[in-house]
Structure 1
């Protein structure tokens, strides 16, 4: 079952929740999110786990509340039991009130994280990684942080596009980060006219997978949400597209199962536009009586092609999206058709793959976090804050960060250590707050974590107040601060 094609043949160029908040009476500017002093257990990697015939590498970590989560990544070097070739999350688990919710890939599409692109005008619809064998490896396995890499040669319109995907797992960060680069440099410019829809997939985010979808939504320059008096998604639903938006996202939820799934970009829409086609004509409008927009013109592909003419759906399909030309064209129109962007030779972006309970509002919580990061002032009095980095995974070219020190590839705060492996770093977060920032100190040459970490002079405890990993090969220290940071704080690493 292939991703659905656009029906329109014309090419148009016109028409947080934060954790515990600071009490009103005041308190420390950087504080634990929970009163417990119980250590979070380190990240665990189980290699080559047989999951009902799927050969997987299982990453288990603790989320922002020190609750267990896991993701089983199917190896992409051979056919799997679903007659695909892996490279996706087959099983995802997380804690719901002390019970483990197990979310497996569906029967139609066996998991989430699949690479998919559609071609604008071709005898072929496009391609995805269903039958393409590639390579996979653990790039870095630290005590509390890990990077897993997949690579494929994806053929589009007779040309090979080299695709690289990284999954980042980190203690203290609930949602895995998915970073992708499409490298079309083996093809001439403007030879490939494709969109990007990764991470594409279908995973039963409510566990059982036997409940009707309540609603969907997305964010581009505005927020679109479905309206339903009956409590289920149908083509007759009304919709609201009036609220302005900063960070791109997609969202799907099931109220009776208290479950939600979504994708949240690590950059703002202005920094990295997302979404495609022509539904932007409805920006700022509402239609309470419906029906929903035509399926081919949704800004992102969700489950609209599995939505019957009458009645609800139980499809958990979700994808990302862009305009055609985002892969392969030197200039293509961004969504809104008001400016041009480049999709050659690279198209790179990073998103969070979000699963959680509907009550915890996980998608909008992550959206709010990314929005807050844009207002942070990150400086160093010992060491140096990095202002440039690779433009994406699998790339060597350097690009300037929109926010000095904030690397959107991994959603990390990055600095270079001083000559003695020390660093003194300062967060000025104002009143917005930054929850559990993940730092990467480059040029860190020690083979062990720092002997002492302090925050505004207070000694912090490893595995409780912060979670550290040493990447000896990459000469980097990864450190998640188990705090919500408000105002200005100083972090000493020595």
Structure 2
């Protein structure tokens, strides 16, 4: 299958164009669905042909013999969705994107301009039976700002910070690669700051992508803000009008509640910078919550969990050690590296933010990553010790990260340039806060596991390349014109390793760092012109390709547009092994 479904919308006209496969002589695409009220239309049958897709052998118009298997990604067009908050226009349709995760269980996201609903399952969520399956359906009727995965940017001069979902996408495209084990949902829009007052006419093109892959639990959300292409009719100085970024942004009932009125209270929050992690330690989140901010950490993330239901949601950056993200202005030099019971500089003093209250938690306006902290804004009437049911999750950056000629790194150890294409990527993680081992919920939840996985991904090496060449640079992010350098071929946009093929193949040693095993790594071979089923050897032993079930040694797809062969090896690497991918 090479299925590509796209909608190009002209601003103000709502023109929608369906397109079929991206090969020459394109096949049929999906027709647009009508508008509809919130609700799931149901996932497609596993392995069945999706509405609007081509169920084919070898994909007509694409040279090669790769075929779909019974566990390939499926894409199903469904009716449009309305925004419970009334900010976004009702989408003309939604795309239900379904894939098989690490347990070979089905996961389904309902998307258009952003994520409306996410259905998945997991093991270990029930006391006494670690093999019992918990099914969870996560919807957008949640306190905060409904839906998830759109962008938001604040600035230092006017308080302008419109929700990105208020901007109708200029293009939405969902593509499953030939072979069907990797798929990308792409959204293009123009972030119009004039959706609120104080926008100064500034409009910045944005490209967002969601990547799903067979064998991988959590989707990757990546973004590029194309600052060089921004409209700035008033000639605003971005060194004075300093902008940040807070996407992926929004609210989902990650506890599985049917609507906001049924949702559980938030039990706590956590976040991490390149070096240390913060976490509340009480049973329920409030401004009176005790906390620690001295746990070693390597991967930037934001995280929240519920009080009673065993549920969590997190945003985890796909590369470790990044000092450029997170808003450090309040915490660095004050409470970072401390615990709530200790004496530390400026403890309890939030007057700089216009907040004269004294409370345990970091100042409401000073959290490095936005979460549900603004529920307790100084201008609101919410008591300090009162909990919240708001499920808002978001990201954070220094002011100036977007557009300024210079901004401070998180720990003030240096400065960086915020101009040009501005890109980063994160895993969007939903699952249990902990997993039961017998009667005790003592095993780690998904956010902790993904942080470990990212640390391992960023530490592994591609060595001893005997065929092909490790990719040295690549587009900075989705839709970016500028390039970034890669270390050992690792491209954080997709959390995958890139190699330039030689005569359609490559051979190299994949070497995880000591004590940091890498599970189900994705390798992308560039400059591949034919979508054939490859021969794959790991440590000299052959791996079965696209068998249609969990026993497959590799899940392989081909993108004719990108000229790339994508390979997920269905195993865990704990030591160095030679990987050969042969045409």
Matched, 1:69 2:107: yes
How far the C-alpha of 1:269 sits from its partner, in A, is 3.2
1:365 corresponds in structure 2 to 449
How far the C-alpha of 1:459 sits from its partner, in A, is 1.6
2:413 corresponds in structure 1 to 338
Give SS of 2:454's match. Answer: helix
1:255/1:378 CA distance change after superposition, 3 Å: farther
* Corresponding residue to 1:138 among 160, 163, 174: 174
Map Cα deviations across residues 220-246 of structure 1 (whole Å, 9 max, x no partner): 131000021xx2111111110011221
1:58/1:88 CA distance change after superposition, 3 Å: same
1:371/1:199 CA distance change after superposition, 3 Å: same
Give SS of 2:448's match. Answer: helix
1:130/1:475 CA distance change after superposition, 3 Å: closer
Cα distance in 1, alignment partners of residues 237 and 176 from structure 2: 35
1:171/1:255 CA distance change after superposition, 3 Å: farther
1:117 corresponds in structure 2 to 153
Q: Mean Cα displacement is larger for which, 161-170 or 455-464?
A: 455-464
Cα distance in 2, alignment partners of residues 346 and 277 from structure 1: 24
Higher RCO by CA contacts (8 Å cutoff, separation 6 or greater): 1
User: Does the 8 Å contact 1:439/1:480 carry over to 2?
Assistant: yes
Map Cα deviations across residues 258-285 of structure 1 (whole Å, 9 max, x no partner): 1110000012234643334311221110
User: Does the 8 Å contact 1:426/1:489 carry over to 2?
Assistant: yes
Cα distance in 1, alignment partners of residues 300 and 578 from structure 2: 31
User: Does the 8 Å contact 2:324/2:398 carry over to 1?
Assistant: no
Matched, 1:127 2:180: no
User: Does the 8 Å contact 2:252/2:392 carry over to 1?
Assistant: yes
2:276 corresponds in structure 1 to 222
1:190/1:65 CA distance change after superposition, 3 Å: farther
How far the C-alpha of 1:368 sits from its partner, in A, is 1.0
How far the C-alpha of 1:131 sits from its partner, in A, is 2.3
How far the C-alpha of 1:366 sits from its partner, in A, is 0.9
Cα distance in 1, alignment partners of residues 192 and 136 from structure 2: 37
Cα distance in 2, alignment partners of residues 190 and 478 from structure 1: 42
Cα distance in 2, alignment partners of residues 130 and 422 from structure 1: 42
Cα distance in 2, alignment partners of residues 58 and 161 from structure 1: 28
Map Cα deviations across residues 16-59 of structure 1 (whole Å, 9 max, x no partner): xxxxxxxxxxxxxxxxxxxxxxx971111112445577521111
* Corresponding residue to 2:121 among 74, 81, 95: 95
Cα distance in 2, alignment partners of residues 277 and 433 from structure 1: 35
Map Cα deviations across residues 317-347 of structure 1 (whole Å, 9 max, x no partner): 0110011111110101122333211111222
Map Cα deviations across residues 52-106 of structure 1 (whole Å, 9 max, x no partner): 77521111111122121111112xxxxxxxxxxxx11100111134342100013
Give SS of 1:413's match. Answer: strand
1:414 corresponds in structure 2 to 498
Cα distance in 2, alignment partners of residues 141 and 127 from structure 1: 34
Q: Name the TM-score, length of structure 2 as normaliser.
A: 0.72
Cα distance in 1, alignment partners of residues 243 and 162 from structure 2: 10
Matched, 1:468 2:556: yes
1:302 corresponds in structure 2 to 371
The 5-angstrom pairing of residues 257-336 of structure 1 reads 257-270=309-322, 272-280=324-332, 281-288=334-341, 291-307=360-376, 308-309=382-383, 310-336=385-411
Give SS of 1:282's match. Answer: coil
1:485 corresponds in structure 2 to 573
User: Does the 8 Å contact 2:508/2:578 carry over to 1?
Assistant: yes
Structure 1: gaps of 5 or more residues: 1-38, 75-86
Cα distance in 2, alignment partners of residues 104 and 270 from structure 1: 31
Matched, 1:198 2:250: no
2:218 corresponds in structure 1 to 175
Give SS of 2:434's match. Answer: helix
How far the C-alpha of 1:207 sits from its partner, in A, is 0.3
* Corresponding residue to 1:351 among 416, 423, 426: 426
Map Cα deviations across residues 397-432 of structure 1 (whole Å, 9 max, x no partner): 22211x22101111111101112x121132011432
Q: Mean Cα displacement is larger for which, 344-353 or 180-189?
A: 180-189
User: Does the 8 Å contact 1:449/1:477 carry over to 2?
Assistant: no
Cα distance in 1, alignment partners of residues 558 and 145 from structure 2: 37
Q: Mean Cα displacement is larger for which, 50-59 or 278-287?
A: 50-59
* Corresponding residue to 2:73 among 34, 39, 43: 43
Map Cα deviations across residues 133-154 of structure 1 (whole Å, 9 max, x no partner): 1221124544110111111111
Matched, 1:456 2:539: yes
* Corresponding residue to 1:59 among 87, 92, 97: 97
1:32 corresponds in structure 2 to none
Paired residue total: 438
Give SS of 1:373's match. Answer: helix
1:414/1:492 CA distance change after superposition, 3 Å: same
Cα distance in 2, alignment partners of residues 131 and 376 from structure 1: 40
Matched, 1:147 2:184: yes
How far the C-alpha of 1:456 sits from its partner, in A, is 1.4
Cα distance in 2, alignment partners of residues 236 and 90 from structure 1: 32
Cα distance in 1, alignment partners of residues 448 and 222 from structure 2: 20
1:427/1:133 CA distance change after superposition, 3 Å: same
Structure 2: gaps of 5 or more residues: 1-68, 83-89, 123-131, 194-199, 343-358, 377-381, 436-444, 547-551
Give SS of 2:156's match. Answer: coil
1:268/1:110 CA distance change after superposition, 3 Å: same
